[in-house]
Structure 1
């Protein structure tokens, strides 16, 4: 009997659950295995080499768990590891497997949101330093000017469930002010970290009313839907039993508590072992 596979979704921690939530809403029939590398997160301040090593190790773990298609829901992993995995690892070791990221699907459409041709990108230090978004966006929208701002304290605020409290206001305003000092004509704000959608209501308090906030989850989900339509040879190999399994490299009880916030439903995760 032909072997069937699950879709793997990888993130450095909890944030990728926002992407998985949208993917499940868009493609509810497939089987999913989620892996959060919480024991080694956050990835945002790690070197290129470290993020690549951690990401490749996690992707290969998902391959061994029965995933032939893996989504890197982490912007930092997509920025620092995806290209090398796609170009150097898959052709040699896993020619039948696929790994997709979140940056290219976003870059392909972000220019459609802006009237001023000026886009602000909020992300981790790692994502911003990689310059992945300006590079990718320029391929599809060469007239769009991209302004970046790293927000290193936003992920800890979200993961400690402090992101909507008054204590978060200083750091939300601080990073947004630093972004808009670069250009007052920014009319589109891309949340280039999967944690940041949980802060949308707080972010909206400190930006001009006309500025559009763009989160990635629905974009990535729609991109995956289109990908499977274009690649029936992949889609035909996927399990469709609506089964979801969650793994974390960190503490399972802590993961489950946070996952309930990101997924808006209770889960029971499993401890992954390398």
Structure 2
């Protein structure tokens, strides 16, 4: 049974589906679990085809739909697109294909948080090539705050550093300075920077060192979790309104390749150990 087919209390006890191109979306899952401890989750990392950020919009849309279909087929009540690139280019498509299933991305919550955090209205966005190329953050920020000045920087190497576990130390700090020092120096009123990729919160300390204390870093994960909570309340889909479902209060992990690596690297993003038995290898 899919969320679209379920109803009432039974539907409320279905898990929430979350997907990303790999393990970076586990930072979003971490925030979701903190905000919604009674909810069950199914997380899919498309580790066989990451990163999405360097691929065309058409390819990302196709991959995103395939990942979403797997989760919908498992029976979910809401879909969270934890990948910034997929949120930027495929969110509308997914919402149409899987209607009436609620589909929530990370772009608009992150943009809203940035608009609230910035005093000057000068905001920087760091993301993958695909997210920057699509311009979704700029559009979302300017829709909420038309006078905002937005600069976007593609920081593709951050993804590799995060995946390798090189989140701190001289290498990460040098890469962050190379990407960001000039951007900050050229914009003395810049006071907010959006971490526009789910991998980037892992490098938060290195990024903060490069931007300095005047620039507030915004992670869309917590804001996305709040949007999901409000959507569940508004739709009457909060867990606990019916019989406890199989996924209630827990997490199931799906990976499209290298589950052992998913366990090892994913623990860094999730902030806790992942049991190998909890990761299922799937084919999209």
- Asked if 1:231 corresponds to 2:235, the answer is yes
> Equivalents in 2 of 1:129, 1:179: separation in Å?
18
What are the within-5 Å matches in structure 2 for residues 162-173 of structure 1?
162-173=166-177
Q: Which residue, out of 179, 199, 205, partners 1:195?
A: 199
Please state how far the C-alpha of 1:109 moved relative to its aligned partner.
Answer: 3.2
Q: Which residue, out of 7, 25, 30, partners 1:16?
A: 25
- Asked if 1:126 corresponds to 2:133, the answer is no
In structure 1, what is the equivalent of residue 147 of structure 2? 143
In structure 1, what is the equivalent of residue 283 of structure 2? 273
> Equivalents in 1 of 2:137, 2:186: separation in Å?
16
Q: Which residue, out of 27, 35, 38, partners 2:44?
A: 35
Q: Deviations over 1:11-60 (max 9, x none)?
A: 00011101101100110111100000011001110000000000000001
In structure 2, what is the equivalent of residue 51 of structure 1? 60
TM-score (norm 2): 0.89
In structure 1, what is the equivalent of residue 165 of structure 2? 161
Task: Say if 2:60 and 2:86, in contact at 8 Å, map to a contact too.
Answer: yes
> Equivalents in 1 of 2:160, 2:206: separation in Å?
15
> Equivalents in 2 of 1:207, 1:135: separation in Å?
23
Tell me, which stretches of 5 or more residues in structure 2 are unaligned? 1-5
> Equivalents in 2 of 1:21, 1:224: separation in Å?
13
Please state how far the C-alpha of 1:259 moved relative to its aligned partner.
Answer: 1.3
Q: Which moved more, 1:167-176 or 1:189-198?
A: 167-176
Q: Which residue, out of 206, 222, 226, partners 1:222?
A: 226
In structure 1, what is the equivalent of residue 103 of structure 2? 99
Task: Say if 1:123 and 1:191, in contact at 8 Å, map to a contact too.
Answer: yes
Tell me, which stretches of 5 or more residues in structure 1 are unaligned? none
3-state secondary structure, aligned to 2:60: helix
In structure 2, what is the equivalent of residue 184 of structure 1? 188
3-state secondary structure, aligned to 2:159: helix
The ranges of structure 1 where at least 4 consecutive aligned residues each deviate by more than 4 angstroms after the TM superposition are 233-240
Number of equivalences: 269
In structure 1, what is the equivalent of residue 260 of structure 2? 253
In structure 1, what is the equivalent of residue 34 of structure 2? 25
3-state secondary structure, aligned to 1:40: coil
3-state secondary structure, aligned to 1:241: coil
**Cα RMSD (Å):** 1.9
Q: Which moved more, 1:260-269 or 1:143-152?
A: 260-269
3-state secondary structure, aligned to 1:206: helix
> Equivalents in 2 of 1:55, 1:23: separation in Å?
20
Change (3 A) 1:98 1:234: farther
Q: Which moved more, 1:163-172 or 1:255-264?
A: 163-172
Change (3 A) 1:26 1:234: closer
Q: Which moved more, 1:37-46 or 1:4-13?
A: 4-13
> Equivalents in 2 of 1:161, 1:22: separation in Å?
20
